[in-house]
A = this chain, B = another copy of it.
Amino acid sequence: MKSIDRARAFTLFGVLYLTANAAIAQQADPLPSWNDGASKSAIIAFVESVTTEGSAGFVRPAERIAVFDNDGTLWAEQPVYFQGLFAIDRIKKLAPEHPEWETTEPYKSAIAGDMKGLMATGKEGLLKVIAASHANITADKFAASVREWLRTARHPQTGKPYAQMVYRPMRELLDYLRSKGFKTFIVSGGGIDFMRVFAERVYGVPPEQVIGSTIDAEFEMRDGVPTILKTGKLVLVDDNVGKPVGIYRHIGRRPIFAAGNSDGDLQMLQYTTIPRSADDKAPSFGLIVHHTDADREWAYDRDSHIGKLDKALDEAPQRGWTVVDMKADWKTVFAQ
């Protein structure tokens, strides 16, 4: 009798356990760092709709492609794009090997940390900064330089390591979408090889799902070792009209969810959400992170030199895009 009771008890326990689990899963808040409100409700309603079999808007898992901008959408971007700060730090580090930089622009301004002087060197100057910090280096050595920088560098205003300036609510959104069968991609104006160093650890996005501005590379056998060398030629500027091109090149199908924070994301939002024809009823979701919180983060939009949000903000109501008010919608801002 004892063993029979045990079998019965196990069966009962099993049923209770499964039931309790299902109930918890249904009730648990998938976005705990988001305040209840229109933004959170709209996200959850969309995700439920496209993932509920039999619903009119059901989307099969293979088509559940979600694309996220990085700077200003997944992590902060003030006072200047973090990759720019990496480039300057890298030039400072390499300066001893290039004594001529002390008297030559744009290196001189970069070494002095003179952002105004650096900006004054224009597009040509910035391309030289990118070349000096990102090119003529093997892929492995470049990745090592980014890893080292992420480990040691601190944000000039918050004093945090950059990987801690990720937005917790957006990290939750990435996790939530993945738990519902979405494949999440980063589609950023930032450098593809720069982001790939931390995207898997920090966002749970593997390198093959990171799309960004790209400089060319070459393959060679170097002393018998297969080597990728990063060269300076730009092959994709993954910003503005370049974002749908990057999506087409790397993903090859239209996303159903896009999140951005600036006019650089306008075309990605259009590409994701605007119907192809009168018959096109494919569901889609557009999200804009609006930086409204000068206390916990920064407040900026139409007049900002970084992350300018103007046209996309005007177009949002007409397109039905959800504009996230960082101050009102987010309980917590940073990951840590």
List residues of A whose CB falls within 8 A of some B CB: 4, 7-8, 10-11, 62, 65, 139-140, 183, 192-193, 196, 200, 206-210, 214, 216-221, 224-226, 228, 235-236, 241-245, 248-253, 267, 270-271, 274-277
List, in ascending order, chain B residues with CB within 8 A of A271's CB.
219, 226
List, in ascending order, chain B residues with CB within 8 A of A214's CB.
249
Contact residue among B140, B196, B245, B274 (Cβ-Cβ distance under 8 Å from A217): B245
If the complex has contacts A10-B11, A270-B226, are A210 and B245 also in contact, measured as CB distance less than 8 A?
no
Q: How far is the CB of A261 from chain B (nearest CB, A)?
A: 19
A213 to B62, CA, bound (A): 24
Q: How far is the CB of A55 from chain B (nearest CB, A)?
A: 23
List, in ascending order, chain B residues with CB within 8 A of A200's CB.
62
A4 to B5, CA, bound (A): 8
For the A-B complex with A208-B208, A208-B252, A226-B270 known, give 13 more contacts whose Cβ atoms are closer than 8 Å: A11-B11, A62-B200, A62-B206, A139-B248, A183-B208, A207-B251, A208-B209, A208-B253, A216-B245, A221-B270, A225-B277, A235-B235, A250-B250
Q: How far is the CB of A183 from chain B (nearest CB, A)?
A: 7
**Which residue in chain B gives the minimum CB-CB distance to A236?**
B235
List, in ascending order, chain B residues with CB within 8 A of A277's CB.
225
A65 to B193, CA, bound (A): 18
A224 to B206, CA, bound (A): 34
